[in-house]
Amino acid sequence: MSIKISASLDCADYLHLLSEVRKLEEGGVDMLHIDIMDGHFVPNFAIGTNLMRKLRPQTHLLFDVHLMVQDPERFIPLFAELGADIITFHVETTTRVYHLIDLIKKHQKKVGVALSPATPPSVLEYFLPYLDLVLVMTVDPGFVGQRFIPEAVTKVEVVRKMLVEKNRQLDIEVDGGIGEKTVPLLKRAGANVFVAGTSSIFSGKEDVKVAALRFREFCERC
């Protein structure tokens, strides 16, 4: 599976957001990871609809939308209309997984399912063939800058094994504490999409473009 970088927009400098996006484009990232929070599923709020609407015409980067919301069925049509390319919902938020998968596909978007750290990968077994992406959270969802949960590495291994057994090629994305210490472990386990946040591209130690270029080269080389 090819390596993909999804830059976490929640970690960018909102006061200079368009400039940051231009640097991310030049730095070779593949996607913008857009966290949508409702204050219920996670006790936080993040990027709003007006920001997405204004940003969509300004960039060719894919919108990797991560719904951290209760009742995601209500919001899927909205974020499809706003320009999402991938819509990922949390399996913990619904008992109608197949319906949500069909709804996302109806809007001609790629489908992702996210697993919180305490959710076992076995929940994927029956609907894995219908997905385009599995997002394994390596921290509790909702806040940037958390400590990486090492047990997530084993979960990635289990998900990749499930895919091999079902002869399926789809992306495994990882999000939370993704940097030089964790990428090699997760890549060996089978992850190929890395959400870059404060542990890498947005660490503040160097220019965003330079950091993005360095991070991609590291992820491909390690």
Tokens matching residue 203 = 């660490």
Instruction: Enumerate the known binding-site residues for a divalent metal cation.
Output: 33, 35, 66, 175
Q: Which string of DSSP letters, residue by residue, matches 196-210?
A: E-TTTTTSSSS-HHH
Classified as helix, coil or strand, 172 is strand
Does 175 qualify as catalytic in the annotation? Answer: yes
* Enclosing H/E stretch for 106: helix 97-106
Residues belonging to the binding site for substrate are 8, 66, 142-145, 175-177
Q: Say which of 64, 140, 175, 207 is annotated catalytic.
A: 175
Write down the catalytic residue from 10, 35, 38, 171. Answer: 35
Return d(Cα 17, Cα 194) in angstroms, integer. 21
Which residues carry a binding-site annotation? 8, 33, 35, 66, 142-145, 175-177
Secondary structure (H, E, C), the chain = CCCEEEEEHHHCCHHHHHHHHHHHHHCCCCEEEEEEEECCCCCCECCCHHHHHHHHHHCCCEEEEEEECCCHHHCHHHHHHCCCCEEEEEHHHCCCHHHHHHHHHHCCCEEEEEECCCCCHHHHCCCHHHCCEEEEECCCCCCCCCCCCCHHHHHHHHHHHHHHHCCCCCEEEEECCCCCCCHHHHHHHCCCEEEECCCCCCCCCCCHHHHHHHHHHHHHHC
The question of whether 35 is a catalytic residue gets the answer yes
Q: Which residues belong to the active site?
A: 35, 175
